[in-house]
Structure 1
Amino acid sequence: MPTATLTISSRNYSSWSLRGWLVCRMADLDFETELLSGNDASTRAELLHLSPSFLVPRLCHGDIVVWDTLAIAQYLNEIRPEAGFLPKDAVARAHCRSIAGEMHGGFINLRSALPMNIKARHTRFQIFNGARGDIDRLVSIMEECLSRYGGPYLFGETPSLADAMLAPVCSRFVTYDVPVSAGAAAYRDTILAWPLMREWIAAALAEPDEIEELDMEF
């Protein structure tokens, strides 16, 4: 029987649920996934960007309850340091933490204009200037890390916390047909071929369309 429960919202729409699930899997945690209904108030607040603090994803592990993706990752790093969320080198470790923190707290224009939707495909999508700035910054992060640490992941041969945090961005690049540099495209493809991402995407594609309309601007 699983020792923990991870509560998530939509696999198709929820980038934070994806991140929380990825770090739990990366930590090899024995957990079951509880999916909230699309009608749940916390789910809709998350997907509509109506709240700065969400209660999903939420990890219950024994007496411990942790919500917020970065907090879940920090907790798992404490109890499962062998998971390799952070590089061993101190300089790279600080770099990885900085990228994870920047992704956690920033890129609001990207989140609003290009919400995660794994099932959708929008060709020749019009990207406004605010979101373009966010995309340029993310591409810069990808290119710098690949050049500095050798790839194929941001910090070398194995996925890190930074990769889990940027994984939904790679999904968005595909959904909205975002043109990126060759290096960023190679990284995008690496993330989408990551077995954990393939598992999540398959589940998202099979998810019922409970949330048919979201009052957000595309």
Structure 2
Amino acid sequence: MAKAVLTISSKNYSSWSLRGWLLCKIAGIAFEERLLPIEDASARAELLLLSPSFRTPALDHDGLHIWDTLAIAEYLAEICPSAGILPADRAGRSHNRSVSGEMHSGFANLRSALPMNIKAEFPNFRIWSGARPDIARVVQIFRECLDQYGGPFLFGARPTLADAMFAPVCSRFATYRVALDSDAAGYRDHILNWAPMVEWAEAARVEPDEMEELDVEF
């Protein structure tokens, strides 16, 4: 299989880049990273939550250019069916696509109130009341999936699209010390200790601080 190129932006701030990168890791494909300069307009639009449509991450493979996280996921599921990006059974696939789509298009209050920032720690952060229903819904999704499929990932023993979609939320929960029940906290910790997440976080922590103004603009 030809080596792919995945275009991403900041590892510290970009939740969408993380999702695309995790999907490539789950798929097991060989890929190179192309880092989009912070000055690029589309990168800044994503990181500052100013655009509803993101062109990063983007995957170039076999002469094709695929953008949008869900499109990347579906493409990788097609070319790497044994990787388990989507569950094998139709019911599981439908459920996985549903919760992943909900993450893709929703939770705007959570995104704006708890922006991704892997380097930071806010132990006494006061969560805006508008974000609390989003947090409660995420926890409900965690609980329902773990109960139905037995964990430790959302759809069983192997990571899937849903885990890639919710992994940045686990990072946010850690950054802002969001109080969780034992099941949700256990899943958060499992994701944060998952080898690809550890690799990404280590790279994020040594990333140059090129976007100090984000602290103001968020």
Distance 1:56 1:89 in 2: 30
1:147, distance to aligned residue in structure 2 (A): 1.0
Letter in 1 for 2:217: M
Unaligned runs of 5+ in 2: none
Distance 1:105 1:173 in 2: 19
Unaligned runs of 5+ in 1: none
TM normalised by structure 1 equals 0.97
Distance 1:216 1:179 in 2: 26
Counterpart in the other structure of 2:123? 123
Q: Is residue 30 from structure 1 mapped to residue 30 from structure 2 by the alignment?
A: yes
1:8-62 deviations in Å (ceiling 9; x for gaps): 0000000000000000111111110011121211111001111111111111112
Identity of aligned residues (%): 62
Moved over 2 A (4+): none
Q: How does 1:205-216 map to 2 (within 5 A)?
A: 205-214=205-214, 215-216=216-217
Q: Is residue 70 from structure 1 mapped to residue 70 from structure 2 by the alignment?
A: yes
Counterpart in the other structure of 2:148? 148
1:216, distance to aligned residue in structure 2 (A): 2.8
1:2, distance to aligned residue in structure 2 (A): 6.6
- RMSD between aligned residues: 1.2
Letter in 2 for 1:151: G
TM normalised by structure 2 equals 0.97
Distance 1:40 1:97 in 2: 31
Distance 1:127 1:2 in 2: 45
1:203, distance to aligned residue in structure 2 (A): 0.6
**Structure 2 counterpart SS, 1:49:** coil
Counterpart in the other structure of 1:85? 85
| Equivalent residue pairs, number | 217
Q: How does 1:1-218 map to 2 (within 5 A)?
A: 3-214=3-214, 215-217=216-218
